[in-house]
Structures are given as C-alpha cells and as structure tokens.
C-alpha cells in the first residue's frame, strides 16, 4: 500500500537490503531508547551545573554516612551546639552502667538496721576562740554550770577536741557498716559548742537507742587507763535519770569490756577502783538525757605513756573498735 500526499514525490523503485536481521534489531531498540530519554528528562535537574542531590541529614545519619552536600554550617552560622552538645545531653541520660546524678547510695544493711546511735565528740576545736559563749551558765538540773569547756591536750599540743572528733568519725564508720543510723552532736561544723544541755537534747530528740560521749582525761602524770562514766540516779528540776540508769550501766559495762579487749589498755588506776566504771551526778549531758547514755574517757592525755597511745592512729582505730563493739553488744542484747 502506498500513501500519496500533496508533498509527495513519485515513488522510487524499492531498494533491496541484505542485512535483514540488523534492521529488525534497530527497529526494536529505537522505542526503548526514546522511552529512556523521556524518563531522564522528566526526573533530572535543569542542567549539569546543579549540585548533586543528597539525602536528608537524618537519612544519612541512619545509614552511618556523612553528608555529600553542604553541611549545616555552610551558611556561616554557628548555633553553639554541635557534636559536644549532643554528647553532653546523652551523658545525662540514665544507663545500666551510669546511675542518674540524683541517685544516692542505699543505706547499709546489717544487724543494727533501724537502730539510732548518737555520738557526742567532746568539746569543739573552736571553743577556745569563743570563751564568752562557752563560759555562760546553763541549767543541768542539779545546778548551773558552764555551757562547755575547751577540753585538755597532751603536753605536745594534741588537743582533746581533735582526738574526740577523730575517734568519733572512725566509730561512725564502724557503726554505719553494720546498718546503724549515726548522728553527731557536732562534727567540727560549727564555730563552738554545743552547750551540754543541747548535747543531751540532740540525743533525746533523735530518740537514740544509745548515746556515747567521747572524751580523754587531763589528770596528773602517772595516772593511766580508761574509764566509763555512768549516770547517777538524779531527779531535780529538768533532770530525771530514773529511766536510764539501768540501761546506761548495761551499755557502759559492755563498752568497758570491749574497749579493754580491743585496745589492751587497762582500766583507770586512779578512778573507779580498777573497774573502769565511774558514777557521776554532776554532768549535764547525763543528767538531762532521757535515753541510755555514757561518757568514755579513753586515756589520760597528760601521761606520756597514754599520750603515746592517744596520738597513734592505729590505736585510735582500736579505741573506736572497742566502743563500737560495746555498742553493738548492747543493742543486740
């Protein structure tokens, strides 16, 4: 069949081709190439100068690659965060290996769990600078006496206040390791005091199961050894020890026995007739207490042999151990 149009020319004689299979192949490829060119035009950019397209930053991060195109800082602006800010933020998140900053160490468990012990380190390192305050009189039931004193010291200047804080802190560690709740009347955290009546009140308000006031004596040279002071039966004014005399003696006897065993120190050779126990009614810290309480004089700071012990850290650790063992024995019955 032939088509003859207005611009047509007379038909030419047909040409004969010998490469028939090649003609068929070309005819088949033309539509395919045309279709590919149309798809390219529809999807490509306006020209070869356009920057290569990149995936959004979040997609690239997910794939673990860095951006192929301009970074967020290409504009010349700095938001002040960057990678460091992201790391800091991540470090604040709780994890299995790093507890939150607000977490606190759980209370220790042990045989003294639920027990409250008040430790009363005698005197205060700052008392000497506050003589007017510590010299004022307070009511201790049977009479009025000084708020507090400076305490004694060794001949070489190691003060009783330093000694009592050191032993008390060692004692606290030992008791806390067994689960006790330990409170101090002072921990070198106040300029002076407290007064003897306040010291008693701290133990009372804490409803302590036991209170121990730690001291060292200032007697004459040659007087050696420790002794534990127990409350006498007193009922006068604000003082009423009737409810604590018996349990306080039990506490004191146990501390005396354990202190002797732990330190090897002998009971006092000048107080208590060799028992290491002394009963007194003139101490406001005992008179005003409503919970079991004793004092311990760990040795005589004015005797050179006792001084050698008192100024030795290893011995002070033994002293703390002896007091702790006595308290534990008392609280466990």
CB count in 10 Å sphere of residue 8: 9
What is the enclosing helix (H) or strand (E) of 97?
A: none
Distance from C-alpha of 280 to C-alpha of 229, rounded to nearest angstrom: 7
Active site residues: 297
Residue with tokens 């003294």: 112
Alpha helices in the chain, H assignment, sequence order: 20-43, 57-63, 82-91, 131-135, 160-176, 196-205, 245-263, 284-287, 304-310, 313-332
CB count in 10 Å sphere of residue 197: 18
Secondary-structure percent of the chain, ordered helix, strand, coil, rounded to 5: 40, 15, 45
């Amino acid at each position: 069949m032939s088509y003859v149009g207005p611009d047509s020319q007379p038909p030419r004689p047909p040409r004969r081709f010998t490469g028939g299979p090649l003609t068929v192949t070309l005819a088949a490829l033309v539509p395919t190439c045309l279709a590919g060119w149309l798809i390219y035009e529809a999807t490509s950019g306006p020209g070869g100068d356009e920057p290569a397209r990149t995936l959004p930053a979040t997609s690239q991060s997910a794939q673990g690659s860095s951006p192929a195109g301009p970074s967020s800082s290409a504009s010349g602006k700095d938001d002040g965060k960057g990678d460091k800010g992201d790391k800091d933020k991540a470090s604040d998140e709780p994890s299995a290996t790093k507890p939150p900053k607000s977490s606190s160490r759980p209370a220790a468990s042990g045989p003294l769990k639920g027990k409250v012990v008040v430790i009363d380190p005698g005197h205060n390192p700052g008392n000497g600078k506050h003589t007017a305050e510590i010299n004022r009189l307070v009511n201790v039931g049977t009479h009025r006496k000084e708020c507090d004193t400076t305490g004694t010291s060794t001949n070489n200047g190691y003060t009783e206040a330093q000694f009592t804080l050191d032993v008390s802190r060692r004692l606290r560690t030992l008791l806390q390791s067994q689960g006790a709740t330990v409170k101090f009347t002072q921990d070198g955290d106040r300029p002076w005091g407290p007064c003897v009546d306040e010291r008693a009140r701290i133990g009372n308000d804490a409803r302590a199961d036991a209170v121990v006031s730690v001291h060292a004596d200032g007697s004459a040279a040659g007087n050696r050894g420790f002794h534990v002071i127990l409350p006498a039966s007193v009922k006068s004014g604000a003082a009423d020890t009737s409810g604590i005399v018996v349990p306080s003696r039990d506490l004191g006897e146990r501390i005396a026995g354990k202190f002797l065993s732990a330190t090897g120190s002998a009971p006092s050779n000048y107080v208590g007739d060799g028992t290491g126990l002394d009963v007194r009614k003139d101490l406001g810290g005992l008179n005003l207490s409503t919970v079991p309480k004793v004092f311990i004089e760990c040795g005589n700071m004015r005797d050179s042999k006792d001084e050698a012990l008192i100024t030795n850290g290893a011995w002070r650790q033994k002293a703390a151990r002896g007091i702790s063992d006595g308290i534990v024995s008392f609280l466990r019955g």
